[in-house]
Chain A
Amino acid sequence: MGSISVLLVGKVLPYLEQELDKRYNLFRGIDPSQRAAVLRDHASSIRAVVASSSGGPDAALIEALPKLEIVSSFSVGVDRIDLQKCKEKGVRVTNTPDVLTDEVADLTIGLILAVLRRICECDRYVRSGNWKKGDYKLTTKFSGKTLGILGLGRIGAAVAKRAEGFDCSICYYSRNEKPDSKYKYYPSVVELASNCDVLVVACPLTPETHHIINREVINALGPKGVLINIGRGKHVDEPELVSALLEGRLGGAGLDVFEKEPHVPEELFGLENVVLLPHVGSATVETRTAMADLVLDNLEAHFLGKPLLTPLV
Chain B
Amino acid sequence: MDSELPALLVLGPPMVFKLFQSHYSHKYRFLNAFSSHLPLPEFLQTQQTHPSSVRAILCNPRQPVTADVIRSLPSLGIVATTTVGADHIDTAECRRRGIQVVTLGSQFAPDVADMAVALLIDVMFKISAGDRFAKKSIHFKPWSFPSGSKLGGKRVGIIGLGRIGGEVAKRLEAFDCIIMYHSRNKNPSVSYTFYSNVVDLASNSDVLILCCPLTEQTKYIVNKEVMLALGKGGIIVNVGRGALIDEKELVQCLMKGEIRGAGLDVFENEPNVPKELFSLDNVVLSPHAGAITLDCFMDACEHVAKSFDAFFSS
List the interface of chain A (C-beta within 8 A of B).
11, 102-103, 106-107, 109-111, 113-114, 117, 119-120, 122-127, 131-132, 135-144, 161-167, 262-266, 268-269, 275-280, 283-287
Contacts and interface: CB of A to CB of B under 8 A. Distances in A.
A131 B287 contact: yes
A264 B140 contact: yes
B39 interface: no
Contact of A119 (B119, B175, B176, B272): B119
Given A141-B295, A283-B148, 20 more contacts: A11-B142, A102-B150, A110-B125, A114-B122, A117-B115, A119-B119, A119-B122, A119-B286, A120-B131, A123-B285, A135-B288, A138-B294, A140-B293, A141-B114, A163-B174, A262-B139, A276-B134, A284-B148, A284-B150, A287-B149
A164 B175 CA distance: 10
Contacts of B119: 119
A205 B131 CA distance: 24
Contacts of B293: 117, 138-141
Contacts of B150: 102-103, 106, 284, 286-287
B285 A122 contact: yes
A229 to B, nearest CB: 13
A139 B288 CA distance: 12
B130 interface: yes
Contacts of B148: 283-284
A110 B151 CA distance: 11
A142 B272 CA distance: 28
Contacts of A119: 118-119, 122, 127-128, 284, 286
B270 to A, nearest CB: 8
A122 B287 contact: yes
Contacts of B272: 132
Contacts of A120: 122, 127-128, 131-132
Contact of A102 (B142, B176, B278): B176
Given A114-B127, A264-B139, A138 B114 contact: no
B67 interface: no
A127 B142 CA distance: 25
A165 B171 contact: yes
16 contacts: A102-B150, A102-B176, A106-B175, A110-B127, A113-B118, A123-B285, A139-B293, A163-B174, A167-B110, A262-B140, A276-B130, A276-B135, A277-B127, A278-B134, A283-B143, A287-B150
Nearest to B285: A126
A194 B289 CA distance: 30
B114 to A, nearest CB: 5
Contacts of A111: 127
Interface string B132-172: 11110111111101011111100000000000000000111
Which 6 residue pairs spanning A and B have beta carbons closest together? A165-B174, A110-B121, A113-B118, A285-B147, A141-B295, A276-B134
Contact of B292 (A136, A144, A164): A136
A103 B124 CA distance: 10
B125 A107 contact: yes
B110 A277 contact: no
Interface in B78-95: none
Given A264-B134, A277-B127, A127 B296 contact: no
B289 A139 contact: yes
Nearest to A255: B134
A277 B130 contact: yes
B201 to A, nearest CB: 22
Contacts of A125: 287
Nearest to A112: B118
B114 A142 contact: yes
B296 A262 contact: no
B249 interface: no
Given A117-B293, A262-B140, A264-B138, A131 B273 contact: yes
A137 to B, nearest CB: 8
Nearest to B271: A131
B54 to A, nearest CB: 29
With most chain A CB atoms within 10 A of its CB, the pick from B114, B272, B284, B285 is B114
B15 interface: yes
A193 B292 CA distance: 27
Contacts of B101: none
B289 A269 contact: no
Contact of B289 (A122, A124, A144): A122
Contacts of B270: 131
Contacts of B295: 140-141, 144
A113 B284 contact: no
B206 interface: no
A106 B294 contact: no
Contacts of A124: 132
A113 B117 contact: yes
A106 B131 contact: no
B122 to A, nearest CB: 6
A113 B285 contact: no
B147 A284 contact: yes
Contact of B287 (A110, A136, A265, A275): A136
Interface in B261-298: 270-273, 278, 284-289, 292-297
